[in-house]
């Protein structure tokens, strides 16, 4: 990285070098039997240069010729992308516990043995098809720039996600465990998917109506995608946010607090800095129902003449490799403050409603405006406080600025899921449509 930085510094005003390395071992079981073991080593390097107020970008998965990579970045300046921001300098950051060295001794054989143990437990207690996905990830991110910034973070991640499939469909009940080191999946996770599946194996037909809807943690991203879009500095700058003038105003239920916290190293993936080197911090988005903040990377902070908030990450809503993405405003460490209701209490409080256990078409609807319209895969029907079956061909639709005002209960536990760590949320008066 140092040689690349030296070469690029001579032909530009500012330079940023980003690199990552990943070792990934993944195991998959299908129908309670080992299906696949996959191991791979990935690495890559990307460069951003700023010259005469313009941004150049290039990346490679195999850095052999530093001059060629710099020349590619220089060539991209012809695109005319404006860049008037300054790259940060922040090397004195707090230490986080992001890496457990025991992950290095974890072998695929040990993971397979754990998956076999899980399969035996589940198969003995259900007739549904049991699939399991598990694995480990060792990752290192390094970031340097011409202003003297020199940061790196090494992280470990073990995951295990068993699921029970409904007959004749791709729908399933699952629960994931994310930790920094290997360990057996908690028995309560297995009890959860067994209990939910075995209670819902019969088909139910609730009919179309407005009713209570409970989103499991695994499906909360459907709602938060819309909020992430509306509070992004990019949406504010492009005038696509319906809440651009709502800072300090109450938009949702007083029970709802949503925040971003990259410094929480209780879970894998904690960071003291974003992918541009801006320090991370606890950052409330919604507090007691009140909109508190918008979030920015360097580019959109400069455009709007505000301070960057440490949310410039190399990610995209539809995926992609980090080195191939330029930083953009991203909420990568979201949390929802837990409530005071157990999951079973939440179920018992539903006179008539559905549980969104998995979503189809989460991208459907006008995301910037907060609209959603999702298929349930599966949806579970609850009547008089009990799960009575699963629902085929059902949809839940609404707008988050209405739906999230009607939050009636929040689970007292947090679970890892897409985009963050959440409890289950129960809403009232949501539109449910069935065929």
pTM metric for this prediction:
0.95
Token representation of residue 87: 């790259």
385-414 burial, b at 16+ Cβ within 10 Å, e below that, comes to eebbbbbbebbbebbbbebbbbbbbbbeeb
Supply the pLDDT for residue 318.
Answer: 57
Read off the tokens for 121: 């437990």
Secondary structure class of 142 (helix, strand, coil): strand
Sign of CA dihedral 130, 111, 332, 16: negative
pLDDT on residue 106: 97
pLDDT value of residue 319: 60
In which residue are the tokens 């589940």 written?
122
- What is the rounded distance in angstroms from the CA atom of residue 329 to the CA atom of residue 231? 9
Burial per residue of 244-267, b for 16 or more beta-carbon CB atoms within 10 angstroms, e otherwise: eebeeeebbbebbbbbbbbbebeb
Please report the pLDDT score of residue 59 as a whole number. Answer: 95
* Adjacent-strand bridge partners of 94: none
User: Which fold is adopted by the domain 2-197?
Assistant: PmbA/TldD fold (3.30.2290)
> Shortest CA distance to 268 belongs to which of 390, 183, 171, 178?
178
**How do 54-60 and 150-165 pair as beta strands?**
unpaired
What are the pLDDT tens digits along the chain (435 aa)? 889 999 999 999 999 999 999 999 999 999 999 999 999 999 999 999 999 999 999 999 988 899 999 999 999 999 999 999 999 998 789 999 999 999 999 999 999 999 999 999 999 999 999 999 999 999 999 999 999 999 999 999 999 999 999 988 889 999 999 999 999 999 999 999 999 999 999 989 888 899 999 999 999 999 999 999 999 999 999 999 999 999 999 999 999 999 999 999 999 999 999 999 999 999 999 999 999 999 999 999 999 999 999 999 998 655 668 889 999 999 999 999 999 999 999 999 999 999 999 998 888 778 999 999 999 988 999 999 999 999 988 999 999 999 999 999 999 999 999 889 999 999 999 999 987
β-bridge partners, 291: 286
* Residue 55 three-state SS: strand
Measured from the Cβ of residue 337, the count of other Cβ atoms closer than 10 Å reads 17
> End-to-end distance of the chain based on CA atoms, in angstroms?
58
- The two three-digit tokens of residue 82, written as one number: 């404006």
d(CA 32, CA 168): 17
The pLDDT assigned to 316 comes to: 63
> Given this model, what pLDDT does residue 92 score?
83
Antiparallel, parallel or unpaired: β 129-145 and 14-30? antiparallel
Query: What is the spatial distance between Cα 165 and Cα 194, in angstroms, rounded to a whole number?
Result: 11
Domain regions of the chain by residue span: 2-197, 201-435
């Amino acid at each position: 990285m140092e040689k690349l930085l030296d070469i690029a510094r001579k032909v530009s005003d500012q330079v940023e070098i980003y690199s990552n390395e990943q070792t990934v071992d993944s195991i998959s079981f299908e129908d309670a039997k080992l299906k696949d073991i996959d191991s791979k080593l990935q690495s890559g390097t990307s460069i951003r240069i700023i010259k005469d107020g313009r941004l150049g970008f290039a990346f490679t998965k195999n850095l052999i010729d530093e001059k060629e990579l710099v020349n590619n970045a220089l060539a991209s300046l012809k695109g005319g992308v404006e860049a008037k921001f300054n790259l940060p300098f922040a090397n004195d950051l707090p230490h986080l516990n992001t890496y457990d060295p025991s992950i290095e001794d974890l072998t695929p054989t040990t993971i397979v043995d754990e998956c076999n143990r899980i399969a035996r437990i589940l198969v003995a207690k259900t007739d549904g098809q049991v699939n399991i996905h598990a694995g480990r990830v060792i990752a290192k991110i390094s970031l340097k720039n011409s202003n003297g910034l020199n940061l790196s973070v090494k992280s470990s991640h073990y995951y295990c996600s068993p699921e029970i499939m409904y007959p004749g469909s791709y729908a399933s009940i699952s629960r994931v465990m994310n930790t920094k080191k290997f360990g057996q999946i908690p028995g309560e996770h297995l009890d959860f998917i067994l209990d939910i599946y075995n209670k819902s194996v019969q088909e139910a037909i609730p009919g179309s109506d407005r009713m209570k809807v409970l989103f499991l943690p695994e499906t909360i991203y459907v709602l938060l995608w819309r909020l992430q879009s509306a509070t992004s500095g990019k949406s504010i700058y492009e005038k696509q946010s319906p809440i651009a003038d709502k800072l300090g105003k109450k938009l949702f239920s007083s029970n709802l607090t949503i925040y971003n916290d990259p410094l929480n190293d209780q879970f894998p993936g904690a960071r003291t800095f974003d992918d541009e080197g801006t320090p991370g911090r606890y950052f409330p988005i919604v507090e007691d129902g009140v909109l508190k903040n918008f979030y920015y990377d360097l580019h959109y902070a400069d455009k709007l003449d505000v301070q960057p908030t440490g949310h410039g990450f190399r990610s995209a809503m539809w995926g992609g490799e980090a080195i191939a993405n330029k930083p953009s405003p991203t909420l990568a460490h979201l949390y929802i403050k837990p409530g005071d209701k157990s999951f079973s209490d939440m179920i018992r409080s539903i006179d008539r409603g559905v549980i969104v256990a998995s979503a189809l078409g989460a991208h459907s609807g006008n995301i910037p405006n907060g609209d959603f319209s999702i298929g349930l895969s599966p949806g579970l029907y609850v009547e008089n406080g009990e799960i009575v079956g699963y629902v085929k061909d059902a949809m839940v639709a609404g707008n988050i600025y209405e739906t999230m005002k009607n939050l009636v209960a929040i689970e007292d536990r947090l679970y890892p899921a897409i985009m963050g760590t959440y409890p289950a949320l129960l809403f009232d008066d949501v539109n449910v449509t069935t065929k």
